[in-house]
Chain A
Amino acid sequence: EPEVTQTPSHQVTQMGQEVILRCVPISNHLYFYWYRQILGQKVEFLVSFYNNEISEKSEIFDDQFSVERPDGSNFTLKIRSTKLEDSAMYFCASRWSANYGYTFGSGTRLTVV
């Protein structure tokens, strides 16, 4: 069964450093998402991406965040200057069509120290 692949599974970074979280969505999917879950809290929507542009972003997704699909296969989330409160599990997801369900990746646990 096709999978959404996220790397790395766990990343530790120092406050103020830039991090890039990587995702390989399912190859024929058209809609891409990032969600995050701070420990003990809800899974929260960050951003959706379609046709090479952001289609919606939450208030969490400020200027420190950016997404990119550089080569038609990877989908990345960049945090320019990490803060302690960015520590969370980040989930990538993709969908084939509007009426098709999400497929989520296993997540990247980001720890900012």
Chain B
Amino acid sequence: AQSVTQLDSQVPVFEEAPVELRCNYSSSVSVYLFWYVQYPNQGLQLLLKYLSGSTLVKGINGFEAEFNKSQTSFHLRKPSVHISDTAEYFCAVSDPRSGGINYKLTFGKGTLLTVNP
């Protein structure tokens, strides 16, 4: 069974500082990896995804993530954050063997990023 660990439940940073949100997964097989963001009172929005190919994935709003198979990690980074990046960030994994019909997602508990002025 897959599992996802987001080590930090809350990450406070100052505006324009860099940030890294950590995500580790547990799986014995190749997986698809995702980061979602949830702004207050909104749904889950896809930031970026890794399916195959280059291990450095670029997403929306200046975020990027690097897939590290040996460390089973998929950390999310942004070189300079804005106040508007304040939100909850969720890492998720999907097992491609589960078939095209399902591709159910297994989520981490989320990291609340708070950007302070």
Contact = CB atoms under 8 A, between A and B. Distances in A.
B45 to A, nearest CB: 7
B101 A104 contact: no
Chain B interface size band reads: 20 to 34
Given A31-B101, A50-B101, A55-B101, A91 B108 contact: no
Contacts of B108: 42
Contacts of B106: 45
A41 B49 CA distance: 22
Interface in B59-117: 90, 92, 98-110
B43 A48 contact: no
Contacts of B4: 42
Interface in A1-41: 3-4, 6, 9, 31, 33, 35, 40-41
A102 B109 contact: no
Given A33-B104, A42-B108, A43-B90, 9 more contacts: A3-B43, A35-B107, A41-B109, A42-B110, A98-B99, A98-B100, A101-B49, A102-B105, A106-B43
26 contacts: A6-B43, A9-B41, A41-B109, A42-B4, A42-B107, A43-B92, A43-B105, A44-B107, A45-B104, A45-B105, A45-B106, A48-B101, A48-B102, A55-B101, A56-B98, A91-B44, A95-B103, A98-B101, A98-B103, A101-B46, A101-B49, A102-B44, A104-B43, A106-B41, A106-B42, A107-B43
Interface of A: 3-4, 6, 9, 31, 33, 35, 40-45, 48, 50, 55-56, 91, 93, 95, 97-99, 101-107
